[in-house]
Amino acid sequence: MIARPLHVAWMRRALEVATSHAASAGPSSHPASAGPSSEPASAGPSPQLASAGPSSHPGDVPVGAIVLGPDGVELAAAGNEREALGDPTAHAEILALRRAAAVLGTRRLEGCTLVVTLEPCTMCAGALVLARVSTLVFGAWEPKTGAVGSLWDVVRDRRLNHRPEVYSGVLADECATLMREFFRLP
Ligand SMILES: [Zn+2]
């Protein structure tokens, strides 16, 4: 589907999360401080300048995710923290979904939107189907592990009883550049 301007704005925020891990600082990053009233996130340093966020583990691949409520207000944000937490499931999407569910007090995230800088893997695609996220917006394609069209298409598998609306390739170049720089690819 064709991305809307709002999706681009959300992706810029997810890119900031990916590069700064500012929102992954734990419980202190309460959603109240990440609401629309706190605009500094959108005026922060560019992803390139913030690529070595102080709270991030240098080995963590820079992927960022945010979850928006049905009203478009940010509920949660997370960076990839597999190395930082020593947790194989600590992908940005999983952490953001958990935090959003905690904020809403329910495991069902109907009406919510997950925005992530990289095409989700099988684990995360499965999780967002289980969470009943209504809309998925992602940035760069991940041909090696992607499960939203690259290797598999978990979120649009008609054998499952929930299929989110998908907007792919939003700010794909910027998101892919972040990955290339991390892996020092040309
Ligand atoms: Zn994943």
Residues around ion ligand 1, judged by CB within 5 A, are 91, 121, 123-124
Q: Is the pLDDT of residue 33 over 50?
A: no
CA gyration radius, the chain:
15
CB 64 within 8 A of CB 17: yes
- Tell me how far the alpha carbon of residue 4 lies from the centroid of ligand 1, in angstroms: 24
CB 12 within 8 A of CB 46: no
CB 149 within 8 A of CB 168: yes
Nearest by Cα to 80 from 63, 59, 101, 56: 63
83 is catalytic: no
Distance CA 56, CA 80 (A): 9
Distance CA 172, CA 53 (A): 22
Catalytic site residue from 93, 119, 142, 174:
93
The model's pLDDT over 54-94, given as tens digits with 9 standing for 90+, comes to: 457 899 999 999 999 999 999 999 999 999 999 999 999 99
Q: Is the pLDDT of residue 15 over 50?
A: yes
- Tell me how far the alpha carbon of residue 20 lies from the centroid of ligand 1, in angstroms: 19
The Cα angle at residue 37 between residues 171 and 68, in degrees rounded to 5: 45
Look up residue 80 and give its two tokens: 């990839």
Which letter, b or e, does each residue of 94-112 get, where b requires 16 or more Cβ atoms within 10 Å of its Cβ?
bbbbbbbbebbeeeebeeb
Q: How many CB atoms lie within 10 A of CB 68?
A: 24
pLDDT above 90 coverage of the chain, percent: 75
- Tell me how far the alpha carbon of residue 95 lies from the centroid of ligand 1, in angstroms: 10
Q: Is the pLDDT of residue 35 over 60?
A: no
